[in-house]
Amino acid sequence: MPNIVYDLTQKGQRKEFKGRYQGYAVSIGSRYAVGILYQIGNFKIGKSGIGLSGFFANMFKHVINIYFYLQIHSFYYLGHYLRDEFFNAPDGREPFFGWASRHANVLFTLPLRIVLGITWITFGSASVFAGSWIGVVMALIGWFMTFGLFTSVAGFVGIVMTFVLMAITRSDITLFLFAPASLAVMNGSGRVLGLDYWVMPWLERKLNITLHGKQKSVYNDYNKSN
């Protein structure tokens, strides 16, 4: 940065650039890769680093890219990177042999979402926690799941509440089923006969505009105001 300022304004002074790289990685496709790990954070690994190959080099490459997106605070493109490289990679072209990119119709989790939502409402209204903040949270989780609004958030809160209830009651065996069921409905089931079908795309567009602004053409040959 000081060198760029000097070139543009002739102020300040030039400084020698000293790169602090975590390492290097080169990959061919999604399976074959080689790399060298020099350091983890500020902790250096040996004099010449550690050589990596195969799965570990490939994962190191992804860690480097994720670290870069975190440095520039671009969570939008970080999400796209994770989606394209892990969860939406065609033909199993991701590090986990296609396991992470398997797709299934979310229609099959619709009955689970509705039943789980009603169960949360019932537990929150009729249990010993009725009227307390725990009962209110349980009922809210149920209503959000039933109507398919912010289903993933409701599922995550449901998982947390499951462990809270298990720590408090320590007796009801049915609570063990709440966590995996809440995890299952986090697959986007709210977009099937749910409000997430309209709310989530609208929210994504609004957040994209808020964080990155509206896309505009660099050239305006007709001098039209946008």
Whether residue 223 is contained in a domain is answered as no
Q: Are residues 202 and 149 in the same domain?
A: yes
The mean of the pLDDT values for the chain is 82
Q: Are residues 112 and 78 in the same domain?
A: no
| pLDDT of amino acid 195 | 92
Whether residue 164 is contained in a domain is answered as yes
Whether residue 170 is contained in a domain is answered as yes
Q: Are residues 121 and 203 in the same domain?
A: yes
Whether residue 169 is contained in a domain is answered as yes
Residue 179 belongs to domain spanning:
107-208
| pLDDT of amino acid 223 | 58
Number of domains within the chain: 2
Q: What is the mean pLDDT of residues 205-219?
A: 73
Nearest to 25 by CA among 70, 55, 69: 55
Q: Are residues 127 and 180 in the same domain?
A: yes
Mean pLDDT comparison of 121-130, 137-146, 158-167, 187-196, highest-scoring range: 137-146
Nearest to 93 by CA among 62, 122, 52, 71: 62
Percent of the chain with pLDDT over 90: 19
The rounded distance, in Å, linking the Cα atoms of 39 and 19 is 12
| pLDDT of amino acid 145 | 94
> CB pairs under 8 A, 24+ apart, for 125-134?
134/161, 134/164, 134/165, 134/168
Q: What is the mean pLDDT of residues 214-226?
A: 61
Last-in-domain residue among 38, 57, 92: 92
Position 49 confidence tier, pLDDT thresholds 50, 70, 90: confident
Position 64 confidence tier, pLDDT thresholds 50, 70, 90: confident
Last-in-domain residue among 64, 92, 120: 92
Whether residue 86 is contained in a domain is answered as yes
Contact 172, 219 (CB under 8 A): no
Last-in-domain residue among 33, 66, 92: 92
Q: How many CB atoms lie within 10 A of CB 60?
A: 22
Q: What is the mean pLDDT of residues 88-111?
A: 77
